[in-house]
């Protein structure tokens, strides 16, 4: 992968900070800022918008189409700044067949629901089977990744954020209840490495399943680098949820010991992935049970030996889906870069797949009068 000089990518960050001079203080560490611009016209003729959170060594792009994380730029060990998130240059890319849930908010229920159906309060609900024979990531044209959210700047000078809100009407994609949602991305003023926190909230007027996540594809060597299998993963999980041939959990919780899914000590993503290539998952595409958390709250750590970049994850969620980009097919993304097979990894914090049909799994049914909350923090640094 061609390295680009620091100044090439640093210029947008400098310009963004200059545009926010009125909010800057004399503190030793410059305060971040939020800027926005148009992000193209969607297929309905409506303009999309892009927000940029800049500061603390990170520059994060977000769009109101799907409440999507578009880009995350950070330096490597020698100071070269690159984007480490797969995505597209404008909204049309996110509406195209090349988009495989890049960076979006997925739901109402992320991951899979068996046969696209569930029973709630004695009523059978049928959903789209868009990943035959199952329902995947909220369904068809009105799943949360495809709709237009309302965005606004929130927070203060030291802790800026962008909040996206959307009300999913009763019956949208087959789900019951009017569901009011908010997704907030925060840039945190940590004293050392920089952090991005994603907070989800939802309320409903009818009982309905809710399970939200962000579906970012990471390559810490730089989006468009040829592989992610050299990345080293540590995952604080002793168990995972085995699946059938359609990737629906069987209901069991199996031990990772002795399997290619044992990342309790740091291992390259590709260290035994060939043993999984011939399975229905086509590689790693598994939900891990986060019941063995370390004292510092870190449930996962991913690092690139090539760039020195790393990320750590802390979350309130009971599960983490690890997906090694097994269905990426060489589509063209931002800046003309190619996204090859297994050139990125998703680390999706979540409740377990098909929980609405598995009473022994953590509950995903939200009741009227309750508030769904979920929070995940990604901390980024360089070795």
Q: Which domains does the chain have, with CATH numbers?
A: 6-382 (2.70.98.10)
- Residue 312 annotated among the catalytic residues of the structure: no
Whether 72 shows a pLDDT value over 50: the answer reads: yes
What's the pLDDT at 4?
33
| Residue 28: predicted pLDDT | 41
Q: Please give the average per-residue pLDDT across 353-378, as a whole number.
A: 97
Query: Is the model's pLDDT at 213 over the cut of 70?
Result: yes
60-94: b or e for each residue (b if 16 or more CB lie within 10 Å)? Answer: bbbbbbbbbbbbbbbbbeeebbbbbbbbbbbbbbb
Residue 17 has pLDDT above 90, yes or no: no
Which residues lie across from 196 on neighbouring strands?
187, 378
How far apart are alpha carbons 207 and 190 in whole angstroms? Answer: 38
Q: Could you give the 3-state DSSP secondary structure of residue 275?
A: helix
333-346 mean pLDDT: 98
Residue 6: its pLDDT value, please? 33
Q: Residue 30 has what pLDDT? A: 58
pLDDT at 73: 98
The pLDDT value given to residue 309:
98
Q: Across residues 333-345, what is the average pLDDT?
A: 98
Residues 83-141 have pLDDT tens digits of 999 999 999 999 999 999 999 999 999 999 999 999 999 999 999 999 999 999 999 99
CB neighbour class for 112 (10 Å; exposed up to 12, middle 13-18, buried from 19): buried
Q: Is it the case that residue 9 has pLDDT exceeding 50? A: no
Asked if the model's pLDDT at residue 157 lies above 80, the reply is: yes
pLDDT at 192: 73
What is the model's pLDDT at position 189?
82
pLDDT score for 160: 94
Contact 289, 237 (CB under 8 A): yes
Q: Alpha-carbon distance 47 to 42, whole Å?
A: 6
Token duo for residue 92 = 């049309």
How buried is residue 268: exposed, middle or buried, by Cβ count under 10 Å (0-12/13-18/19+)? middle
pLDDT tens digits for 184-197? 999 998 777 899 99
Report pLDDT for 89.
Answer: 98
pLDDT at 23 over 70: no
Q: Which of 215, 231, 286, 351 is catalytic?
A: 215
Q: Output the pLDDT for position 14.
A: 39
Neighbouring residues of 165: CB distance < 8 A, sequence distance ≥ 6: 149, 150, 152, 180, 181, 182, 183
Q: Is the dihedral of CA 53, 152, 63, 190 positive or negative?
A: positive
Task: Say yes or no to pLDDT of 3 above 90.
Answer: no
| End-to-end CA separation in angstroms for the chain | 20
Q: What is the mean pLDDT of residues 137-166?
A: 96
What is the percentage of the chain residues whose pLDDT exceeds 90? Answer: 88
Global pTM value: 0.92
pLDDT of residue 121: 95
Alpha helices in 214-314 (DSSP H): 274-277
pLDDT of residue 218: 98
238 is catalytic: no
Q: How many CB atoms lie within 10 A of CB 304?
A: 24
Q: What is the mean pLDDT of residues 307-336?
A: 97
Mean pLDDT of the chain: 92
- The rounded percent of the chain whose pLDDT value lies above 70 is 91
């Amino acid at each position: 992968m061609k390295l680009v000089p620091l100044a090439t990518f640093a210029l947008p960050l400098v310009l963004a900070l200059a545009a926010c001079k009125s909010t800057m203080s004399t503190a030793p560490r410059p305060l971040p800022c939020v800027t926005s611009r148009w992000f193209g016209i969607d297929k309905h003729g409506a303009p999309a918008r892009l927000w940029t959170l800049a500061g603390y060594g990170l520059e994060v792009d977000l769009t109101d189409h799907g409440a999507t994380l578009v880009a995350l730029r950070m330096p490597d060990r020698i100071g070269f700044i690159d984007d480490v998130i797969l995505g597209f240059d404008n909204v049309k890319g996110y509406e195209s067949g090349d988009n495989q849930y890049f960076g979006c908010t997925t739901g109402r229920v992320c991951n899979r629901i068996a046969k696209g159906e569930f029973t709630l309060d004695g009523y059978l609900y049928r959903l789209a089977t868009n990943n035959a024979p199952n329902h995947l990531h909220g369904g068809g044209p009105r799943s949360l990744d495809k709709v237009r959210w309302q965005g606004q700047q929130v927070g203060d000078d030291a802790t800026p954020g962008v909040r996206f809100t959307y009300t999913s009407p009763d019956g949208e994609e087959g789900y019951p209840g009017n569901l009011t949602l908010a997704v907030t991305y925060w840039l945190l003023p940590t004293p050392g490495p920089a952090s991005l926190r994603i907070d989800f909230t939802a309320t409903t007027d009818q009982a309905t399943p809710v399970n939200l996540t962000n579906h970012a594809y990471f390559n810490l060597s730089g989006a468009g680098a040829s592989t992610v299998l050299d990345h080293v993963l540590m995952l604080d999980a002793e168990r995972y949820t085995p699946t059938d041939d359609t990737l629906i959990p069987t209901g069991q919780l199996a031990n990772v010991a002795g399997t290619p899914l044992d990342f309790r000590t740091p291992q390259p993503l590709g260290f035994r992935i060939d043993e999984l290539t011939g399975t229905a998952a086509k590689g790693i595409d598994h939900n891990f049970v986060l019941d063995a958390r370390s004292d510092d709250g870190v449930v996962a750590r991913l690092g690139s030996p090539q760039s020195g970049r790393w990320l750590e994850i802390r979350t309130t969620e009971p599960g983490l889906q690890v997906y090694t980009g097994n269905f990426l097919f060489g589509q063209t993304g931002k800046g003309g870069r190619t996204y090859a097979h297994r050139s990125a990894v998703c680390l999706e914090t979540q409740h377990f797949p098909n929980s609405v049909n598995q009473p022994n799994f953590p509950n995903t049914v939200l009741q009227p009068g309750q508030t769904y909350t979920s929070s995940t923090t990604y901390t980024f640094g360089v070795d």
